[in-house]
Structure 1
């Protein structure tokens, strides 16, 4: 029997494979619009896949931050969650996580490439190399500013679903209720603390990653980057990503605690949360978050680099001093 639906599905898959193959075979110029959009696609995949995969760990971490009396540790937190909501309860908040971090990843990685290239052009090759750490910091901060505006609504929904019992269990139920009760502000009241959490985190994530990759090729890898296999280069990417993840977790954790509490409450302020929690309180859940963010950051860089390899995007070499600067030295 003829199956039009099955035929259409096969055709769609064929078109999808053809598009990917065309993208891989096409010559993509470094810094072109096509290159930057494909970098955004790599960032989208890296962020949405990793954040969605660790939803259970993130859920327990958030509950430890907003209800430390009941959720005392990672293992006990998992136990309490399963007893209260069953195994399905561990996946609560997956939809806003998936959509929110898809948007955030697209803008974070795509705009980082945009700002890095533009700032390098403004500084010129010698200053761009001499001030490269500052360049990475400023480019990543600029990108994250826009990425968090895209993330904020879904982050607010996710935290409400995960930490407020009886409020709503799905994106479809939570978003209309939040809008009906609190208006548009409900989705953006956490954007300032989100900036406080994400901008330092992203600055450390990108700058630490770039400089760690540079150090690994200089001191730990016996061959120059250009002579290493793709597999070895991806291995360096993963190790550098994990090291960057540990540092950026520590830098951003207090603000992460504030965001979790603030999105759970109505009418709260970041300063009010800080006063109530105190210095020790805002560090609750740090170990869980190091475990989560270290692995997540390493996987994000690995997936992002893997997408670049698969799509045959130009991968600029590790930063090296321009020839005029070498001669002067």
Structure 2
């Protein structure tokens, strides 16, 4: 029988990875009053493993050591025991290291680069278990969500996204049309079909599969696809082009687009939306896509989403069509949000894609404090 004694701190992900990676039959959670609050949601994700919870004073060496030794004294000496030292306080880690030394028992510490240190010989090895996005969210208590993948968009959608990008880059009519709809409908849903006069010269006619722009009664633009309303009116074209670029990044194991999380007590009400969510094998990257102006509330939302759903190990990046204002860039720097901006995809798109992937590689290698 395999036993695992694991220290529980503020981050539950290394606890979960330690269990999945080493597959114990029984887990003993060493918790404090501050850290035990997250255990119910963690336990709901763990299947087929028995576990027990043991409280101690996280800042008292003797309390931690005595708690663990009482557990060890009840385990058959012929059975396998290991320690997960990744969580908890420094005092808890010191107490476990003392036990490892005294009793010649193994342990491990999970790193942020998808590796772990094997104790007591301090050999570095790769983590083989891959945490799915579903598991990430269940650990944080969010089991319900809506999302799309790139497979939900066809080549016609990509073609239209590029056409909208060219339209947005070549004239003022795009800004006038989108600004009108933003102000006119605000938080209301745009009707499935309609006809609106944007100004004396510009009008827009649309339905479920088509958006057309007229200037002085002459049709100047016609965009047709099954996702055209989202692509045009809600700037989905920019998110789709960014997601397509990210799909060329070999490290991205899962890419989810338009990721929506409802309130736990109201599944019909959207609480947060993530433009693009990247799963990198045990690390999440949250991508906020902005085709226009970036506001302070956009950055504050990114901070909340990262802290709530990804934890310390996760990363955030703002991918903006244009360079954000100096105040936004300063705010992002303070909150450890990476900033990447492009001036459209029409000029050397392949080069723009590669620069974004280079930036993502740099972000992925950067450890959190």
**Structure 1-normalised TM-score?**
0.26
Structure whose CA Rg is larger? 2
More relative contact order in 1 or in 2 (CA 8 Å, sep 6+)?
Answer: 1
Structure with more of its chain in helix, by fraction: 1
**Structure 2-normalised TM-score?**
0.24
Structure with more of its chain in strand, by fraction: 2
